[in-house]
Amino acid sequence: MSFFSKFKGGSPSVDYLVVGLGNPGDMYRRTRHNCGFRAVDFIASRLPEAPNFRKKFSALTCECRLGGAKVVLLKPQTFMNSSGEAVSAARRFYKLPPERVLVISDDAALPLGRIRVRTSGSDGGQKGLRSIMLHLGTDAVPRIKIGIARPDMEGYDMASYVLGAFDEDEEKTLEKVLPYVADAVEKLAGGASFETLMSEYNGLQL
């Protein structure tokens, strides 16, 4: 049984939200902090029909089917630190419990080329995830973290680092990672358990 299929309280038209975190605008498009946006865009690029993102809930949203489940892909347009506003509004509209909101974000604590699937836990310093947890009132928010690694230098400024662009080699690594993230989301929608996904993906190093 899928982790999500255990929860029956939501709207009959939507099974869960898949939220990619990032900042809106061309200047942020290729930055480390926009891994979540890029993962959602990659998922959308594999849909059989052209994705149709619309502005709703202070976010760009796209309704689709993944693995037989009805999913809303969501990219908050509130800027990273206020991501919870858009996510909370969408969750209330669809009457979904927090456990059916899947968040995809960057994580500086993970090496580049790694992903980590979790069902709950701290925000790890990721302020978009922190905002979502505050607005939803729980840390039991499923998430897929994409490693961006911390810089190997002293005295670096984290804000400048996450808002910086990947170099050419890092970009190639991220492009290898995104299909795995999309696969994990599709398998979840198709009924795979979180335990299965954690076993399959948390040890990978690309």
Report, as residue numbers or ranges, the catalytic residues: 33
Among 132, 129, 128, which Cα is nearest to 84's? 132
Among 41, 21, 28, 17, which Cα is nearest to 131's? 21
Residue 137, Ramachandran bin (φ over 0: left; ψ between -120 and 50: alpha; else beta): left
Among 203, 177, 42, which Cα is nearest to 116's? 203
Residues 97 and 10 sit within 8 Å (Cβ to Cβ): yes
Residues 164 and 153 sit within 8 Å (Cβ to Cβ): no
